[in-house]
Amino acid sequence: MDKDEFTDKMKPRDDSRRDDPEEKLWSGDYSAKDMYGAWIIAAVLSIAALAVSGIFFLPAILPVIGVVALVWIGLLFRLMWRKWSVHYELTTQRFVHEKGILSRTTDRIEVIDIDDVTFTQSIFDRMFGVGTIAITSSDRTHPTLVMDGIEDVKQVAELIDGARRKERMRRGIHIESI
């Protein structure tokens, strides 16, 4: 074998299934809109509790104010925790899920391993344009990943499913019907 034949065999073949550069498709985290329903219910109950205690049990109004303040502080803490502790990123080849505040855990799910994408919305979710996405995959660490408080939930779910289908077609893997 001469030198030209050897270098020809060493050159990569033009294969349409080889790794393409990874492109970022979507990035997001928990949306505060997901808690609007809880805030509305807390506001109504707070006003009712303060009104009832102010009218009927005036000496007990200070403990009621304390309880109402604790409920609102708890809701704000819950929002900050969810907002700061979770981040998602979808690329053409991977879905990256980061969680934690003080210590961060990053998990990757190959888009090709995603089997199903489902989204749900409560009545409040539909009113405020958020929802929950459930990703079922063959990934060992996260066979089912549930993502709460995703803004534009339908569009994001379709984006994940579209990336899954495109990657499977690119690699020549047929999508099975169950």
| Counts of helices then strands in the chain (DSSP H, E) | 5, 7
d(CA 157, CA 76): 28
Residue 135 near residue 148 (C-beta atoms within 8 A): no
Instruction: Say if residues 80 and 35 touch (Cβ distance below 8 Å).
Output: no
Per-residue pLDDT of 100-147, as tens digits, reads: 999 999 999 999 999 999 999 999 899 999 999 999 999 888 899 999
* DSSP element (H, E) containing 87: strand 86-91
Domains of the chain: 24-170 (2.30.29.30)
Complete DSSP assignment for 7-69:
HHHHSPP--TTSPPPP-EEEEEE--GGGGHHHHHHHHHHHHHHHHHHHHH-GGGHHHHHHHHH
pLDDT range class, residue 178, cuts 50, 70, 90: very low
